[in-house]
Amino acid sequence: MEGLEAVRRRPGMYVGGTDLKALHHLVYEVVDNSIDEALAGSCTRINVTIHADSSVTVEDNGRGIPVDIHPEKKISALTVVMTTLHAGGKFGGGGYKVSGGLHGVGVSAVNALSEWCEVEVKRGGLLHLQRFERGYPQGEVKVIGKAKENETGTKTTFKFDPTIFKDNLDYRFDTLTQRFREMAFVTRGVTIHFADERQNREMTFYFEGGITSFVRYLNRNRETLHPVLYAEKTLEGIGIEAAVQYTDAFTESVYSFANTINTIDGGTHMTGLRSALTRVINDYARKAGLLKDADPNFTGDDTREGLTAIVSIKHPDPQFESQTKVKLMNPEVQTYAQQVIGEGFTSFLEENPSAARAIIAKCLTSSRARDAARKARDLVIRKSALESLTLPGKLADCSERDSNKTELYIVEGDSAGGSAKQGRDRHFQAILPLRGKILNTERARLDKILGNNEVKALISALGTGIGDSFNLEGLRYGRVIIMTDADVDGSHIRTLLLTFFFRYMPALIEQAHLYIAQPPLFRVEHKRQVRYMYSDSEKDAYLKGLGADGEKISLQRYKGLGEMNPPQLWETTMDPQNRTLLQVSIEDAAEADRTFDMLMGDAVDPRRKFIQTHAKKVRNLDI
Ligand code: 0RA
């Protein structure tokens, strides 16, 4: 029991903390054990249930945790598994533990951190039960019934200990769903059923095609260039599989897994995948004469544009960079992954010449565009260095020079720009109007946007430079405020600007310099009193409150900033005493970045749906 006391005393050492993330890891740890059974070919179904009291049941139809008496310890193997750190896969079977696991400490750590935990095992025709409280067995393993012939499995129910996981923490449906979906994708053929009895929601994940389905899922809103390529082989006991499909998108979606854990920082399996793709594409393009002698090879950047891929490995002894298991370090995996994926991809291109041509055409466009973008960017950087003293003509600057006190409003359109220029406090507020249609007319890669005059003006107004020469110290305004119309165009431009800042100036967001202005939607005048309303519901509630008192009510709906006169704009949106500003978080911006992809991609349907869905609540779009 000593180990368990240590876990309870210092949970951080064993489960990485006592926060929401650690809480979810308890569930993953238990499910991982069932996934191990599935990977061993002994389990096809896993049911996870969150009960109303936030206890969690994980049930599988695997072989069942052995219950026989352990030869040395003279106690049931089940008790050993549940109370000994690192006892995970040491019994019988001969299989190794391949799935994730918490930090290798096994289900015993979950047991130690649970108020109570009950394990039922069906094995050898009998149903067994053992109960634990804070890790301590409450009696021996008991036989409490019979199991049907050949029916085996393990059912674990635990309630996390609220004296350890404090602050009313509770599980999040979406977080768990995401993880179970990933587990089901990378464990082909297993069904994960997830029910949340707190809110009567349930989901089932089963992917016949494994990671091939995963790639199809990721590309569901994109135009693909060819069918999914799947490659798989076990080398020296290491299972390697990859699924690859190019799309006409400009971005890349590549994910890597080691023993079903999403290694978000990649590692050797990811490197193996990337180098295999680049090498095979170059070889093919040379042989087919699509790259001439004088042409340089495609770079990794060229071959990753539009790439959607999953690489998943199963390793008996995975080495991770850190306790958090986000980067795989085993050096041999790089060679094996490169070999397996290289062979698979080579034959795929040979057998599918039209796919090969489409992929290479995509790489060519990408490489040319990158070249052009590099030149444009160099130009912007060189110019912005030169122009750091010459501010853009469109900028109406403020007189204050202390950037702790200054604000830059980025305003859509010249007419709104005019109102803002007249309405502002010119002492500390600067206005930069941007011509409305940068997004729709460009419909192109973000790199190209750097060459756009509006964006160049923005970069020089900010004073930070861009790319390698970006320096937050140069920032001329402590607050950078995006002020766009409450319509679809306005939200496009906001999405574009957020994406731009997210990709090229993330520090500006992280250091809390970026904001979104909140102009009102309505002006209501009643008994010579003017009020501004910022949402439909606010307006409706106000009008209802007035009732029918016979007085005339005048209601004006603002469609654009340009409809407000300068004093109105100041009063409602720019006056620090009255206005509301939304501070943009890096998550908001990341979300905008994904939205941007969808808005810019060639798949028309999701874009139309997006616009239809958001046209009504456009004020809160992607923020
Ligand atoms: C050790 C050995 C065997 C199975 C398991 C553990 C096992 C553990 C868990 C945890 C959750 N579900 C599980 N299912 C199985 C193999 C025993 C044999 O060879 O029959």
Cα 240–chain centre separation: 24
Are 164 and 30 within one domain? yes
The pLDDT score that the predictor gives to residue 623 is: 25
Tell whether the model's pLDDT for residue 435 goes beyond 90. Answer: no
Instruction: State if residue 59 touches ligand 1 by the CB under 6 angstroms criterion.
Output: no
171-180, 294-303, 316-325, 568-577: least confidently modelled range: 316-325
**How far, in Å, from the CA of 33 to the mean position of ligand 1?**
8
Could you tell me the pLDDT band of residue 409, with boundaries at 50, 70 and 90? very high
Look up residue 222 and give its amino acid: R
Tokens 């020469």, residue located: 469
pLDDT tens, position by position, 326-385: 899 999 999 999 999 999 999 999 999 999 999 999 999 889 888 877 776 666 665 555
- Average pLDDT of span 390-405: 89
Q: Which of 550, 552, 436 minimizes the C-alpha distance to 496?
A: 436
Could you tell me the pLDDT band of residue 615, with boundaries at 50, 70 and 90? very low
Instruction: State if residue 34 touches ligand 1 by the CB under 6 angstroms criterion.
Output: yes
**How far, in Å, from the CA of 453 to the mean position of ligand 1?**
64
Listed residues 172, 205, 238: the one ending a domain: 205
The pLDDT score that the predictor gives to residue 488 is: 75
Instruction: State if residue 66 touches ligand 1 by the CB under 6 angstroms criterion.
Output: yes
**How far, in Å, from the CA of 480 to the mean position of ligand 1?**
57
Name the token pair of 338: 């490169």
Q: Is residue 124 part of a domain?
A: yes
Are 417 and 348 within one domain? no
The pLDDT score that the predictor gives to residue 547 is: 76
Are 181 and 33 within one domain? yes
For 594, which DSSP code? H
Bridge partner list, 153: 122
Q: Any idea which residues carry the catalytic annotation?
A: 412, 485, 487, 489
Are 165 and 224 within one domain? no
Domain CATH number, residue 612? 3.40.50.670
Q: Is residue 487 part of a domain?
A: yes
Q: Is residue 297 part of a domain?
A: yes
Listed residues 205, 227, 257: the one ending a domain: 205
Taking the C-alpha atoms of residue 426 and residue 413, their distance in angstroms, rounded to an integer, is 19
- Average pLDDT of span 80-99: 59
Nearest atom within ligand 1 for CA of residue 94: 19
Q: Is residue 531 part of a domain?
A: no
Instruction: State if residue 154 touches ligand 1 by the CB under 6 angstroms criterion.
Output: yes
Look up residue 251 and give its amino acid: T
Are 294 and 191 within one domain? no
- Using an 8 Å Cβ cutoff, are 500 and 492 in contact? no
Look up residue 498 and give its amino acid: L
Domain CATH number, residue 262? 3.30.230.10
Taking the C-alpha atoms of residue 127 and residue 144, their distance in angstroms, rounded to an integer, is 6
Are 178 and 233 within one domain? no
Tell whether the model's pLDDT for residue 619 goes beyond 60. Answer: no
Domain that holds residue 424: 407-519+581-617
Are 31 and 122 within one domain? yes
Residue 132's alpha-carbon distances to 72, 74, 127, 129, 419, in angstroms, are 22, 18, 17, 10, 69
**How far, in Å, from the CA of 206 to the mean position of ligand 1?**
22
Name the token pair of 97: 């533990």
Nearest atom within ligand 1 for CA of residue 89: 1
Listed residues 171, 205, 239: the one ending a domain: 205
Are 346 and 451 within one domain? no
Instruction: State if residue 93 touches ligand 1 by the CB under 6 angstroms criterion.
Output: yes
Are 36 and 87 within one domain? yes
Q: Is residue 552 part of a domain?
A: no
Could you tell me the pLDDT band of residue 274, with boundaries at 50, 70 and 90? very high
Q: Is residue 300 part of a domain?
A: yes
Nearest atom within ligand 1 for CA of residue 93: 19
- Average pLDDT of span 16-23: 91
Q: Is residue 22 part of a domain?
A: yes
Taking the C-alpha atoms of residue 312 and residue 241, their distance in angstroms, rounded to an integer, is 5
- Give kind and range of the element (H or E) at residue 233: strand 229-235
Name the token pair of 126: 């009998």
Instruction: State if residue 91 touches ligand 1 by the CB under 6 angstroms criterion.
Output: yes
Tell whether the model's pLDDT for residue 613 goes beyond 70. Answer: no
Are 421 and 505 within one domain? yes
Instruction: State if residue 492 touches ligand 1 by the CB under 6 angstroms criterion.
Output: no
20-29, 43-52, 322-331, 504-513: least confidently modelled range: 322-331
pLDDT tens, position by position, 105-127: 689 999 999 999 999 999 999 99
Are 224 and 294 within one domain? yes
How many domains, in total, are found in the chain? 3
Taking the C-alpha atoms of residue 56 and residue 593, their distance in angstroms, rounded to an integer, is 35
Pocket-testing residue among 26, 32, 33, 47, ligand 1, by greatest number of atoms within 8 A of Cβ: 33
Tell whether the model's pLDDT for residue 95 goes beyond 60. Answer: no
Are 431 and 508 within one domain? yes
- The residue whose CA is least distant from atom 4 of ligand 1 is 65
- The residue whose CA is least distant from atom 6 of ligand 1 is 65
Q: Is residue 528 part of a domain?
A: no
The pLDDT score that the predictor gives to residue 140 is: 95
- Using an 8 Å Cβ cutoff, are 597 and 251 in contact? yes
Look up residue 303 and give its amino acid: T
Instruction: State if residue 260 touches ligand 1 by the CB under 6 angstroms criterion.
Output: no
Tell whether the model's pLDDT for residue 601 goes beyond 60. Answer: no
Domain CATH number, residue 63? 3.30.565.10
Tokens 């003279």, residue located: 74
**To the nearest whole percent, how much of the chain has pLDDT over 70?**
86
Would you state the torsion angle of the CA atoms of residues 340, 344, 347, 352, taken in this order, to the nearest 10 degrees? Answer: -160
Edge-first strand order for the sheet with 514-517 is 429-434, 407-412, 479-483, 514-517, 581-583
Taking the C-alpha atoms of residue 85 and residue 72, their distance in angstroms, rounded to an integer, is 16
pLDDT tens, position by position, 534-553: 888 889 999 888 876 778 88
